[in-house]
Amino acid sequence: QVQLVESGGGLVQPGGFLKLSCAASGTVFSILTMGWYRQAPGKQRELVASITRGGRTNYVDAVKGRFTISRDNAKNMVYLQMNSLKPEDTAVYYCNRFPYLTGGYWGQGTQVTVSS
């Protein structure tokens, strides 16, 4: 079982920045590759960034150069620094293991809205 609590979302103007945080369960966090996912209205949930236990990262092209995923294994935390935000980044953002488990647990997510 994994517990996930996302925070840090909000309303920001285009070009602005936000840092999202995810508190994950301690029993699995240090073993897993973790990811940030997002779901925009009318869209499927998509992986936007991932980070291995050892810090190897991957990003979808849409966020490369703007988003940075990081983790603190000692604190069971994963972060997503989002810079140069665009309206297209508007979505509910979730953290979870990567790959996620079919039928597995998802947290409530945190809303990011990029708008003037």
Express each pLDDT in 32-78 by its tens digit.
Answer: 899 999 999 999 999 999 999 999 999 999 999 999 999 999 899 99
Longest dimension (CA), the chain: 41
Question: How high is the pLDDT of residue 21?
Answer: 98
Selected residue with higher pLDDT from 104 and 8 = 8
Main-chain phi, psi angles of 47, to 5 degrees:
-75, 130
Burial 39-61 (b: 16+ CB within 10 A, else e): eeeeeebebbbbbeeeeeeebee
Confidence class for position 29, pLDDT limits 50, 70, 90: confident
CB-count exposure of residue 21 (10 Å: 0-12, 13-18, 19+):
middle
Does the structure show a pLDDT above 90 at 25? no
Do 79 and 69 meet the contact criterion of CB atoms below 8 Å apart? yes
Does the structure show a pLDDT above 70 at 95? yes
Question: How high is the pLDDT of residue 35?
Answer: 96
